[in-house]
Amino acid sequence: MAILIHCPWPNATVWLDRLRAALPDAEIRVWPELGAPGDIDFAMVWKLPPGVLSTLPNLKGVCSLGAGVDHFLADPDLPPALPVARLVDPLMADRMAEYVSGHVLRYHLRSDDYAAQQRHGVWERLPQKDAPARTVGILGLGHLGTVCARQVSGLGFRTCGWSRSAKQVAGVETFHGTDGLASMLRRTEILVCLLPLTAATHGILNAGTFGQLPQGAALINVARGDHLVDADLLAALASGQLRGATLDVFRDEPLPAAHGFWRHEKILVTPHVSSLSEPATAAVILAEQYHRCRRGAPMRDLVDLSAGY
């Protein structure tokens, strides 16, 4: 039997080397070199072309090479009974927490405002809150969201978190459901999006959401570009409802050269770097998932396909 790999990243060679080292006795096939489709019983992929998985008659399980799984859900031919697992790597969570905390601090310390003053040669001390007087709201309390919420809380900020269903996180005030979302947004000065992309969350970063935040709030989106309504963000920045936005994810990636986000003085663009998968640690986790699947044990971190995460 064989494993199918699809890694469309510049460091694909590193991924293959690490996976081969972690699975020295396994046959690894790299898309599009399928060979005999019936030989493939496991897949480790990122954004495999739709329809491919349905052509593999003996496929027992599939793992994502990243934290997101919306690329599986976008495949209309995805076999409904196929076990699908997300990649849950503590190193990726640490990287995400560092990114989020760094940009929360950037807005808290008004580094963006001082950078604007520098561009105009202005020497002026701005009013500054202390961290316990500043509320940070986290949309999404999955694995990454929970780690980020704990770290932001550890920095001393009043930290809130919202999820679809009720959750408890030490040091974090949690909300859930439609009413809970409105309650959290009303007090949130820095909003961080870490939601999974589903039909219910598509476009959730919109004018209605921004309008419920206190005037002058900031946005950090590290989830998916399709969570954001681009035109609504630009309008909120123009009106002063939002002071700034840090965007690591976009509807089209790479972000097109002509896109207005590149040149907007209140938007910081980063090239989807907030939580990069690390081949060295991920390969060990993926190898364990493969062995569990081959011996008939359930994989860890399975996706609920009906819920979308």
Residue 188: closest CA among 237, 139, 223, 147: 139
| Distance of alpha carbon 272 from alpha carbon 10, whole angstroms | 14
Alpha-carbon distance 204 to 215, whole Å?
18
d(CA 300, CA 277): 17
Q: Which amino acid type is present at position 171?
A: G
DSSP at 243: E
Report strand pairing: 173-176 vs 27-30.
unpaired
Task: Name the burial class of residue 9, with classes exposed (0-12), middle (13-18) and buried (19+) by CB atoms within 10 angstroms of its CB.
Answer: middle
Q: List, in order, residues 6 or more apart from 46 with CB less than 8 Å away.
A: 6, 7, 8, 9, 64, 65, 66, 71
Catalytic residue at 120? no
Residue of 18, 86, 143, 224 marked catalytic: 224
Q: What is the separation, in whole angstroms, between the first and last Cα of the chain?
A: 29
Residue 230, token pair as written in the block: 């681009």
Residue 224 is a catalytic residue: yes
Calpha distance 80→53 (Å, rounded): 11
Q: How many Cβ atoms from other residues are within 10 Å of residue 81's Cβ?
A: 6
Q: Are 3 and 29 in contact (CB under 8 A)?
A: yes
Active-site choice (29, 71, 272, 292): 272
If residue 280 lies in a helix (H) or strand (E), which one and from where to where? helix 279-294
Instruction: Identify the burial level of 122 via C-beta atoms within 10 angstroms of its C-beta, where 0-12 means exposed, 13-18 middle and 19 or more buried.
Output: exposed
Catalytic residues, which ones? 224, 272
